A and B are shown apart, each in its own frame.
Chain A
Amino acid sequence: MLEQLSDLYLTYQSTLGYIGINALLALSVYVSLSCGQLALGSAGFAALGAYAGALATMKADLPFPLALLLSALLPALVAVPLGLPVLRLKGVFLAIATIGFGEVVRLGLVNWEYVNGAQGIVAIPQKASIWMISLAVAVTLYVLSRVRGSKWGFALEAIREDEPAARTMGIPSTRYKLAMLVLGAALAGLAGGLEAHFTFMVAPNGFGFSRVVDMLVFAVVGGAQLFWGPVVGAGFLTVLPEVLREVAPLVGIEPGPLRMLVNGLVLLLVILYLPAGLVSLPRRLRERRAAP
């Protein structure tokens, strides 16, 4: 019995780790969304964090906590000069500019021979464990829970709902938006650093445009209005492929195509029927039951 449990844990430990990593990445997109900004530079920030962490461990021989600190710090520092000009942009223009930043980082790494270009850094020692990743998510959630309902939280909500109105009330909106971009960058960088030390390798192609789309989908499917929504979304969508591996033989469809089908369906259904994400499902069910 104990052996079966340990096998079960071993089988899904990478999935557990990836739930945490994906949750941090989803939160990095969420923090900007929480003040109404669609900033999609997180793949670039995660790449910076992953490479900074990996180089710190492999070239500079830094202890792991320091390497992780560097993973979070470097993208945060980069986010400041990036944020000052691009946060003047709004909506889809901000999204395009930040996606552009992510691509610049990816292409820079591809052309940087010191880190093996497209082949990436390999044979990174595995130092991140599930508890560290879980702790990182827990601390992040705690901080975000404290922000909610605080002066900061109200300011962010005000900016999200109506930025000009918030400004007239004396809320320095640019400073708040920049702070959220920097926080998002630090979270993405931390996730990148953890991933690099969890999966033995990092390569630029792991941080392309599709990765940031994944993060946004995690946040949207889980629910981008509550701070724990993105974590639910990341958890659900990371576990889904593994569940479908079990289900596929029962329905007689190959797991690959089935995964793409179900992923698409989930996204479609959530956007159509649960615009506030999966976390709003219990409330919606209660409302329906209450209605005559």
Chain B
Amino acid sequence: MRLAPRISLLVAASLLSIGSAHAETVVKIGAALSLTGPAAAYGAQQKVGILAAVEEVNRSGALKGVKLEAVIEDDASTKEQGIAVFQRFINKDKVAAIIGPTLSNTATAADPLAQGARVPVVAVSNTAPKGITDIGDFIWRVSLTEGQVIPGALKRLQAKLGFKKAGVLYGNDDAFTQAGYNVMKAATEAMALEVVGTQTFAKPDKDYTAQLTALLGGKPEILIVSALVENASGIVAQARQLGWQGPIFGGNGFNSPKLMGNAGPAAEGVYVGTAWNKVSSAAPNQAFLKNMAARAHEPDQFCAQAWTGVMAIAEAIRLSGKGGREEVRAGFLKLKALPTPLGTFSFLESRDGSHDPALQVVKDGKFQIVQ
């Protein structure tokens, strides 16, 4: 039994070497990233992660006879160009798999095209719980959904700090922050937390004092906030100005070093659930950090997830021995316990990613993991 895959690998490898004069087949991976527009900050990190991971796979020689090539295109944070990029990848570049797109909204518009053409997609930053992997059996996800990160992190924080009353603030005009809020709401209900108030804001807002004052009036013991990093910085800074000394728990949007850059010392004591434990001493994470240090790049969670996306595709190609579209998908089905910077990674039955999330806190101007 155990020999069978190895034999098929051997057969595949020998077929490959007969098939081409230089024993290397190039397998293209398309990456639809938001390099311009509102999500450009995330796309830039993803680009570095993908290029570095492809280089690393090719250097390591783990894929005998296969050379990965990344094709990166900008979707301008819009669904119109996201769709155009996907159709390019599918019909023109003939990629074996697609990574992205950066935004969940774009994914709901573009992923059905890949599903229809039977091209595997690996989402590396889509966190909306519904509407991504349920598009079909070719849509896979490395990034944890908000539902996989927030409840666990919040529970761990409660065990540590013992709060019972919470004030909730969220951005209601953004798909990402709204999805985060839905999960937070479910989590507070499951934990029987008393919610003293729920307030909303919109992305262009700069002044949150009205909402914060209303929330603080209810005497909460913790503030729970779902916001993108630009708003998050302002909310944190203004909460501190209003005299709030207690803990603030943020959604995935807080997961950026920009938070400390913008809010400065006010960000101290902000807790965030994260898919990536940056200080993990596990070997794959240390190797990732070393690779990034060599590029003089400061990686964040999005970079680590993009790297993991490429590694998952590489592993799938290794497992099925070939770099075709069906083979990559078949490889995903076999992929188990892959060591990555995010931790030991597997796919769930729902094609969503699974690995242990972590809880981090801002201390001395840096994210530090809460043990």
Contact = CB atoms under 8 A, between A and B. Distances in A.
A binds B: yes
Interface of A: 7-8, 10-15, 18, 107, 110-111, 117-120, 122-123, 126, 199-201, 203-206, 241-242, 245, 254-257, 259-260
B91 A199 contact: no
Given A110-B173, A118-B173, A119-B128, A201 B105 contact: yes
Interface in B61-88: 73-74, 76, 78-81, 83-84, 87-88
A205 B178 CA distance: 13
Contacts of A242: 84
B172 A206 contact: no
A255 B73 contact: yes
B88 A11 contact: yes
Contacts of A11: 87-88, 90-92
Contacts of B74: 254-256, 259
A117 to B, nearest CB: 5
Contacts of B177: 118
A125 B178 CA distance: 24
B264 to A, nearest CB: 29
A218 to B, nearest CB: 13
Given A10-B91, A241-B76, A241-B81, 20 more contacts: A8-B92, A15-B84, A18-B80, A118-B172, A119-B131, A120-B105, A120-B108, A120-B175, A123-B135, A126-B112, A199-B79, A200-B109, A201-B105, A204-B173, A205-B105, A245-B88, A256-B35, A256-B74, A256-B76, A259-B74
Contacts of A257: 36
A117 B112 contact: no
A198 B220 CA distance: 46
Given A107-B173, A200-B112, A259-B36, A14 B83 contact: yes
A14 B87 CA distance: 8
Contacts of A8: 91-92
B179 interface: yes
Given A123-B135, A201-B105, A259-B36, A206 B76 contact: no
B207 interface: no
A242 B84 CA distance: 8
Contact of A7 (B80, B91, B174, B175): B91
A118 B81 contact: no
A126 B108 CA distance: 12
14 contacts: A12-B84, A15-B84, A107-B173, A107-B202, A117-B172, A123-B108, A123-B112, A199-B83, A205-B105, A205-B173, A254-B74, A255-B73, A256-B36, A260-B36
A170 B54 CA distance: 72
Tell me what chain B mostly uses at the interface: helix, strand, loop, or mixed: helix
A119 B105 contact: yes
Contacts of B179: 119
Contacts of B175: 118-120, 203, 205
B109 A201 contact: yes
Interface in B119-142: 128, 131, 135
Q: Which 3 A-B pairs have the closest CB atoms?
A: A256-B36, A10-B91, A256-B74
A211 to B, nearest CB: 10
A200 B108 contact: yes
B145 to A, nearest CB: 13
Contacts of A118: 172-175, 177-178
B109 A111 contact: no
Nearest to A21: B80
Contacts of A126: 112
B299 to A, nearest CB: 20
Nearest to A200: B112
A8 B178 CA distance: 38
B137 to A, nearest CB: 15
A199 B178 contact: no
A175 B371 CA distance: 71
